Amino acid sequence: MGQRDIYILNGPNLDHLGVREPHIYGFETLADVEAACRREAEGWDVNLIFRQTNAEHEMVGWLHEARVGAMGIVLNPAAFSYAGYAMLDALKMCDCPIVEVHISNIHRRDEEWRTRSIVTRTATAIVSGMGTDGYALAVRHLLYLGQRRNAA
């Protein structure tokens, strides 16, 4: 873990991206998302750490790993967005920028509970409703933030 590390962390059911409700989440797989993020970071001296879990305790451990010194975190909390209080507490300890990513626009979802993410209160920025393109945009944002910090 270091100042050149960008963590891209994915919550539950995202391992089924591409086959789970493609009318909402699209046909791209998580491997496609990772490849797009790596393309975005080409030419930058960064280390992308790309992970997915269905277990909140594993996500908490990764956030503890990134807590101090990481360049940033791109987080798609998925269903942890609505009830992941242990994850929320871990996010509050992070000293790096956090970009919350949602593939769908959670504010337009039919289920009322999906419109309120508890994670948002810890996020530096939010990307929602841009499909899987939101991940690469989040990585780009963290790269530019890091460049500005290093120039200062």
Binding residues for substrate: 76, 89, 103-104, 114
* Catalytic, out of 7, 23, 25, 107: 25
144 is catalytic: no
64 is catalytic: no
Phi first, then psi, for residue 11 (nearest 5°) are: -90, -160
- The pair of structure tokens assigned to 104 is 């769908």
Per-position b or e across 109-134, b if 16+ CB within 10 A of its CB: eeeeebeebbbeebbbbbbbebebeb
* Catalytic, out of 7, 64, 102, 107: 102
What amino acid positions are annotated as catalytic residues?
Answer: 25, 102
